[in-house]
Amino acid sequence: MKLYLMRHGEAGFDAPSDELRALTPVGQSQCQSMAQQLSDAFAEVELVLVSPYLRARQTWGEIADYCPNAKVIEIVDELVPESDPALSASIIKAYASVKQLDKVLVVAHMPLLGFLLSELLPGQEPLLFATASVTELQLGQQAQIVNRYLP
């Protein structure tokens, strides 16, 4: 499975709760920049899993046009910042398996993404994800980080 882990774009802090923090104009621009940079890769994405938090859903809104072949798009409650990375990894793999899709984009948050990376690649230290950054993984017999992208 090819997996793209993407952190949401820059978000403001003036919101009544963490769940309702919205992208800033800079965050919107970061997402557009990343989508343009990865347009060929994003065009192959078949399955998109997105955190229910506003900034993640807005990030998906900014990049959706670059994923024209996405057959399944799901909001997944287990992709919030404090989620259990083992559970999140299991859910991602289950969606891909059940839907029989192997090019997956996950839009989520720190610290989950760093710990999720460690869960998917045993022995890998958690990494930091800058806003709107993407880490490309190849999972399977030889699981590895393929590349990291900054907007």
Specify the number of domains making up the chain.
Answer: 1
The bridge status of strand 47-50 relative to strand 72-75 is parallel
Q: What is the 3-state secondary structure (H, E, C) of 96-123?
A: HHHHCCCEEEEEECCCHHHHHHHHHCCC
- Name, in order, each residue with C-beta under 8 angstroms of 40's C-beta and a sequence gap of 6 or more: none
Domain with 103, as residue range(s), is 2-149
Task: Check which CATH number belongs to the domain holding 52 and give it.
Answer: 3.40.50.1240
Per-residue pLDDT of the chain (151 residues; tens, 9 = 90+): 999 999 999 999 999 999 999 999 999 999 999 999 999 999 999 999 999 999 999 999 999 999 999 999 999 999 999 999 999 999 999 999 999 999 999 999 999 999 999 999 999 999 999 999 999 999 988 899 999 999 8
Q: What is the pTM of this model?
A: 0.97
